[in-house]
Amino acid sequence: MSVAARLPWELAGSKIQEWHRDRLAVVYVRQSTMAQVIYHGESTRLQYGLSGRAAELGWEPSRVLVIDEDLGHSASGAGIRPGFQRLVSEVGLDHVGIVLGIEMSRLARSGREWHQLLELCALSGTLLGDMEGVYDPAGHNDRLLLGLKGTISEAELHLIRQRMLGGRMAKARRGELAIPLPAGFARRPSGEVILDPDEQVRAVIALVFSLYDRIGTVGGVLSCLADNRVQIGIRLREGPDRGELAWRRPSRAMVQNMLRNPAYAGIYAYGRSTSDPRKRQPGRPYSGKKRVESGQWLVLLPGVLPSYISMEQYERNMRRMDANRSRAESTGAVRDGPALLAGLVRCGRCGMKMTVRYQRGPGGVLQPSYVCGMANVTWADERCQQLAGKCVDDYVASLALQAMAPAALEVSLAAAGQEERQRAETDRIWRQRLERADYAADRARRQYQLAEPENRLVVRQLEKDWNDALAERQRLGEEHDRHLASRPRALTAAEREQIRALAADLPAVWHAGTTTDADRKQLLRHLIENVTVTVIGDSEQAGVEVTWAGGHRTTGRVTRPVATLAQLSYFPRLRERAGELSAAGYTAAQIADSLNAEGLRPPKRAETFTTSSVRDLLSALGLQHARTPASRPGLGEHEWWLRDLAARLGMSKVTLDAWVRRGWADGYLHPEARLIVVRADPAEVERLRILHETPRGQHMRRPWQQDQEAGTSIETEGSPDDEDRTRL
């Protein structure tokens, strides 16, 4: 029986008006999945057959529009349906007279979308038709019936989902639900999960976990794989080559997913992620996924799958990855900055983790500081405390070197053995790659030789495949030679001896240029759990408590740089001692030697007093340092020390020094006193005085230009140009 024979003709004819036929008749075709489109073609043919039904209801074939863009799209409302959007748009524009579908659930199973369509159809006068009849959404009875059909369709979808989810959960609880397998696993036709039969694939997976166990960061593992040109083998899940082995360049996401996947520890897990509609984005089918904590997984069955690592190692890796995150409660990953205790320092006053801040020092060198600023960030309060990082880093590093000294040789030999094992693993992977390339070339040769020579259509392609395989084998061999040249298979005798020699002098290794800050940080994190720092008041003294791995604690004090003299705990003693030495007639150099010998230090980053810092100290303390007249050598006639001439002219010595450098005044550097000497007779002194009193911008006119205009000859060599006048 045809579709037309099954529809109530009399009811349809009473609702369809001529103005309906002036519009389009839309046939909406949809199947939920591509599998239904491929394997359930009868339903698709019935839906396309509704075009004939529209013609029997009075529409011209040219006025029948078939919308089939949603074949393979679900109507549950979770995804975007371009065909449904096109249908809604046509209805809203008053282009549609009737919408035909094999059943109303084909249009929408979401109540929101269904009632939106009904409202638009009622406003535009569009009719709806299915296998049961023709409906007018503007009529009360039809609207009630259509709303009931939509509610039943939505409830039916819910029941279908519940039955499917119940079946999946029952199968998952037995560990029989086939979940996607990560790289390194394969599934037999019987459904049993096994380790990948390819030896090279298993070797690469084992190498990834051993590298992370040694390095401790995803970035470090990725860099090591990239340096050794190691690729990861995966089994294709779809396409014509489904199940075949393909080699992919490792990425950060690939390595991170491998470390997080519990399947490598033999754990069967289901429900590791859930959908969050708020995060779903249009055009991205895999968006909206949210990772679930392991305690909330729906199914967790240890020991069901074959394993590459133990459960203890998997849990240790998870804790390590969580600690590498930059959060207040974790130490964070090792970075390249010079602050050796970044992530380990705790504030002794509030107990919060102290952050690191850098500033440029002399020569552009980064100087770290440890700052406790949580109170400032959270409550806009004052910073708890801060101190320069170098003093704490040096103190903790010296303690670590002392702790490692007894086991230095043992550690060095273990490091040498670990390096050799890693090189052996990478070399084994390289040999497997070469063996695979040899097999591919040999297989291509045998295929070419077995082909009939007369069949040139086949032989030409086989010959090309053979040549490509030989070229790939040659390229891989050359790449392996370059790899061996940069990283030999084993340590040489000279390298072993060098390691043993360095083991006897750990400080030399620690301060060597080849030892990076990241290496030092990684070593300290193996030895130290945390470092608690407490600044005593606002003085230069800070208490340090080092908590070693295992719980043992070591306490001590460090001296930090401070900003002012008043912050020094020994400031009264320093002031008294500097005054005594100055009153006794000591020179600045002698005062500096005495202060340094007594263990007194300046407030800034300098470790000892110098002549200039003593002068600044005396000036800050308001003490006048006595100078002996014989401290400077004698000068010739009409020669002035720069400071004395500047005082005579009533100008700054900095300005007079600039004049000498520009050639405005005649001067030179005294070879003994290392001070500027200015040659100036009375006339020159008067000229310099007038020049100093001349307003800016008029130096080229007065006094020498006016004198030249009057006929007087004055030497003007070294007179300032326009730029120098502006600076002056």
Catalytic site positions: 32
Amino acid identity for residue 582 in this structure: S
User: Which long-range contacts link 533-537 to residues 24+ away (Cβ below 8 Å)?
Assistant: 533/345, 533/346, 533/347, 533/348, 533/354, 533/370, 533/385, 533/387, 533/392, 534/347, 534/348, 534/349, 534/385, 535/385, 535/386, 535/387, 535/560, 536/569
> Tokens standing for 710?
């009057």
Query: Which residues are registered as beta bridge partners of 187?
Result: 193
Please report the sign of the dihedral spanned by the C-alpha atoms of residue 37, residue 41, residue 42, residue 45: positive
Three-class DSSP category at 135: strand
- Rounding to the nearest 10 degrees, give the CA dihedral for residues 681, 683, 685, 689: 180
For residue 479, give Cα distances in angstroms to 27, 168, 439, 484, 492: 61, 48, 18, 9, 22
Q: What are phi and psi of 120, to 5 degrees?
A: -65, -40
Q: What are phi and psi of 489, to 5 degrees?
A: -65, -40
Q: Give yes or no for a contact between 183 and 205, defined as CB atoms under 8 angstroms apart.
A: yes
Amino acid identity for residue 402 in this structure: Q
Q: What are phi and psi of 352, to 5 degrees?
A: -80, 160
Alpha helices in 533-587 (DSSP H): 571-583
For residue 155, give Cα distances in angstroms to 149, 162, 410: 10, 11, 70
Q: Give yes or no for a contact between 357 and 368, defined as CB atoms under 8 angstroms apart.
A: yes
Strands 232-235 and 127-130: unpaired
Strands 289-291 and 273-275: antiparallel
Three-class DSSP category at 555: strand
Q: What are phi and psi of 679, to 5 degrees?
A: -90, 120
> Tokens standing for 470?
């030989």
Q: Give yes or no for a contact between 325 and 294, defined as CB atoms under 8 angstroms apart.
A: no
For residue 316, give Cα distances in angstroms to 27, 57, 259, 260: 59, 71, 11, 11
Three-class DSSP category at 340: coil
3-state helix, strand, coil split of the chain in percent (to 5) is: 50, 15, 35
Q: Give yes or no for a contact between 292 and 269, defined as CB atoms under 8 angstroms apart.
A: no
